[in-house]
Structure 1
Amino acid sequence: MAENASYFEIPKTCKAGCVIDEGPNFRVEVQDVPVPEPGPDQVLLRLNATGICYSDLHYMLNDLGFGPMSQFGVRSAGHEGAGVVVKVGSNVTTWKVGDRGGVKPCWNCCMNCALCWDGQHETYCEKGLQTGFQVAGTYQQYILSPANYTTRIPDGVDDFYAGPIMCSGSTIYRSLMESRLKAGDWAVFPGAGGGVGHMGVQLAKAIGLRVIGVDGGDEKRELCVRLGCDAFVDFTKVNDVAAEVMKITGHGAQGVFVTAGNAAAYASAPGMLGVGGKLMCIGLPPAGSCIVGAHPAEFVLKNLHVIGTKVGSMKDTDAAMDFAARGLLKPIYEKFPLKDLPAAVDKLRAGKVAGRCVVDFNS
């Protein structure tokens, strides 16, 4: 039986953004849902903030080919939650009421296989569960989290930073590490002004890379320049983005980090790379909508590498949090009150977000 919280009054119900008519015509409504009871090895978190990620939209659109979230009885998407522990299960000794914690895209994994043991790939565990798809997500204020897979939030990192870092920050950190780029190399970020891309720009600069941001519009340009991009290419004003990148770099970039989940970004990426370049696949397009585009000869003649990276591990998340604690990673976000969560989702779906949308559960 779970211990009673000493410092928090836990309600019977809480607010949650629930998907209605999942599929291409989905909408989100804020509804009352029951507050769950933690099992012996779980904690109950009261979230203060959640980021809104485009993967949430994919789950609600049901366009990735994974089947609907409703097959698991899940109605609330979201996987970027930050808050406080308000109740702990009877077996939990590593967390106490009042500790700050967060929930990531991977909700849990088996912790008993080679992937879970290597410190990098537990998010690929066959028994892993995805937050906001197979279990209730962070659009719900009170949610459960396995005690052994909940992320601690360090002092100096507020919840509105910590929420987006749970997914966007740790995901792009993992991709940067797997690219093995070194200081002075050129890194290109299609989608640089988006939720994942703008954190990639900051982390890339922090480790000494030269950065080219690719995105559309003056707002995205201003953001990318402010975050330290060495150059910016506006795809709405340049006919050939790859040619422009080649002009800037001389012989092509060492890495292209495709954070934008669309066909155009993946089609142009190989042409931006120099010999031995790494094409890092991060953004998820709808199923069947595109491929990584280039004739095989381009891959052969330029010795190109194509690497897909999923969300960050526990270790990656802690590392990204450390960058934030040192002031080197500052998520850019627009804050929405809980009642406007549906509007925030719609704004992201319309492609009108620079940085991240973050929902404040307490406003």
Structure 2
Amino acid sequence: MAQTGDAEIPKTCKAGVVVNEGPDFKLAVEDVPVPEPGPNDVLIKLNATGICYSDIHYMLNDLPIPKMSVFGVRSPGHEGAGVVVKVGSNVTNWKVGDRAGIKPAYDACFDCELCWSGKETYCPQSPQIGLQFPGSYQQYVLSPARYTQRIPEGVDDFVAGPIMCSGSTIYSSIKESGLKPGDWAVFPGAGGGVGHMGVQLARAMGMRVVGVDGGDDKKELCMKLGCEAFVDFTKVTDVAAEVVKICDGKGAHGIFITATSASAYKTAPMMARIGGKVMCIGLPPPGDGFGEANPLLFIGKNLHMIGTKVGSLLDTQKALEFAARGLLKPIYEVFPLAKMPDAVAKLQAGKVAGRLVVDFNS
């Protein structure tokens, strides 16, 4: 083994890799080479990674983007937390032993208006980890030193991992919505990985929160986390009408669509009050959209439709600060590394309340 500081670095490491990329993909745990950091990189040994539905989209090839295999990538994942074990020759702002995390955006140019304004995840030169670079399903991963996330004290890796994507993403959307304390915030998909963190953050920001999801387990989770009301789409015939009734009979100030289903997008505009914000977050299957919500509805209700991607470096830092203060606590189920394929299958089947996290050390 090569050694840097106190960290022993093996030649190979375990990774979840996609097999038969496409509609019938499988995930397998295999040995892969440990990468060598370039002059401006850090090498991170991950202790935990969250499992995100975007990973499944990448493995299914069901988004209108190039395949993972086009970039020679077999390991998805973009919610990793661990420790720096080696730094590149030019790196001065990180040292071996520092706690670090990786997010969906791998890097950015930092030389354009988007980067200067804190929207670096929209930078055209911002590639995606787990798609264009090996992701957090691989235990040892590279990250550009300038775009690696610091993890604060008091936030363990099983909490920090999911916040790198889910927590940061929903924090960014809530911030961009402009909702104020006392406003009604509705979360279709409230019991999912992104939604359940949105419930907590919105509540911590003083909003009145309504969860929309299916099943008693999702209801129990959402009410425990601070929802004022819950609408079960498996039991309520007209979900939008029920949401409007709960929200003073006028509708919500903001609807944060964290679900990935076509039905969530079709019904969300009907939940909004005059001037409401419809925040698009979850990635629906291609061809699905707002359906019956034609422009007349948007015109008549002065609706605002806003799409938000993953959070910036600052968004992620702010979300981690909520966690450090005890106001954001991802609910997660831990799987050992060997059971990573089972975790992916469980998420793909839609049987997850909260988040799934893989422990690389078990």
| Native 8 Å contact 1:270 1:293 kept in 2 | no
- Structure 2 residue 146 is matched with structure 1 residue 148: yes
Equivalent position SS for 1:256: strand
Superposed CA offset, 1:37-65 (max 9, x none): 00000000000000000000000001011
Please give the per-residue CA displacement for 1:275-313, whole angstroms capped at 9, x wherever unaligned: 000000000012223346402211111100000000000
Does structure 1 conserve the Cα–Cα contact (< 8 Å) formed by 2:3 and 2:9? no
Does residue 41 (structure 1) correspond to residue 40 (structure 2)? The answer is yes
Going from structure 1 to structure 2, the CA distance change for 1:300 and 1:288 (only over 3 Å counts) comes to same
Distance in 1 (alpha carbons) for counterparts of 2:94 and 2:215? 45
Work out the CA distance in 1 between the residues paired with 2:286 and 2:180: 33
Of residues 93, 108, 130, the one that matches 2:128 is 130
Distance 2:11 2:80 in 1: 20
Match of 2:246 among 248, 255, 264: 248
Partner of 1:32: 31
Is the CA contact 1:275–1:304 (under 8 Å) kept in the aligned structure 2? yes
What pairs up with 1:107-186 in 2 under 5 angstroms?
A: 107-119=106-118, 121-186=119-184
Among 206, 209, 212, the alignment partner of 2:207 is 209
- State the AA in 2 paired with 1:136: P
Q: Choose the corresponding residue for 1:234, options 205, 212, 232.
A: 232
Equivalent position amino acid for 2:101 in 1: G
Counterpart residue number, 2:263: 264
Tell me the amino acid that sits aligned with residue 24 of structure 2. Answer: N
- Report 1:1-363 matches (<5 A): 5-119=4-118, 121-249=119-247, 250-291=249-290, 293-363=292-362
What secondary structure does 1:129 align onto? coil
Q: Which runs of 5+ in 1 are unaligned?
A: none
Point out 4+ residue stretches in structure 1 off by more than 6 angstroms. Answer: none
Segments of structure 2 that go 5 or more residues without pairing to the other structure are: none
Taking the aligned partners of 2:120 and 2:349, their CA distance within structure 1 comes to 33
Q: Give, in angstroms, the shift of residue 262 of structure 1.
A: 1.1
Retained in 2: the 8 A contact 1:109–1:129? yes
Q: Secondary structure at the match of 1:274?
A: strand
TM normalised by structure 1 equals 0.98
**In the TM superposition, what is the alpha-carbon distance from 1:111 to its structure 2 partner?**
1.1
Given that 1:80 and 1:167 are in contact with CA atoms closer than 8 Å, whether structure 2 keeps it comes out as yes
Distance, in Å, in 2 between the alignment partners of 1:253 and 1:114 is: 33
Residues 314-323 or 285-294, more deviating: 285-294
Q: How many Å separate the matches in 1 of 2:18 and 2:6?
A: 32
In 1, Cα distance between the equivalents of 2:41 and 2:66?
A: 27
Q: Check the 8 A contact 1:261/1:283 in 2, yes or no.
A: yes
SS state at 1:203 partner: helix
Contact 1:53–1:195 under 8 Å retained in 2: yes
**Contact 1:190/1:258 (<8 A) preserved:** yes
Aligned AA (1:204): A
Checking the alignment, whether the CA contact within 8 Å between 1:266 and 1:293 is kept in structure 2 is: no
**Alpha-carbon distance, 1:197 to partner:** 0.1
Amino acid at match of 1:354: A
Match of 2:342, SS state, is helix
User: After the TM superposition, which of the residue ranges 284-293 and 157-166 deviates more from structure 2?
Assistant: 284-293
Equivalent pair of 1:173/1:203 in contact (CA under 8 Å) = yes
Q: Which amino acid aligns with 2:94?
A: W
| 3-state SS in 1 of match to 2:286 | coil
- Structure 2 counterpart of 1:360, which letter? D
The Cα shift of 1:125 comes to 0.6
Equivalent residues of 1:149, 1:314 under 8 A apart? yes
Deviations 1:180-202 (A, max 9, x none): 00000000000000000000000
Question: What's the offset of the Cα at 1:4?
Answer: 5.3
Q: Is the 8 A contact 2:254 2:276 kept in 1?
A: yes
In structure 1, distance between residues paired with 2:115 and 2:295: 34
Partner AA of 2:127 in structure 1: L
**What is the alpha-carbon root mean square deviation over aligned residues?**
0.9
Greater alpha carbon shift after TM alignment, 110-119 vs 3-12: 3-12
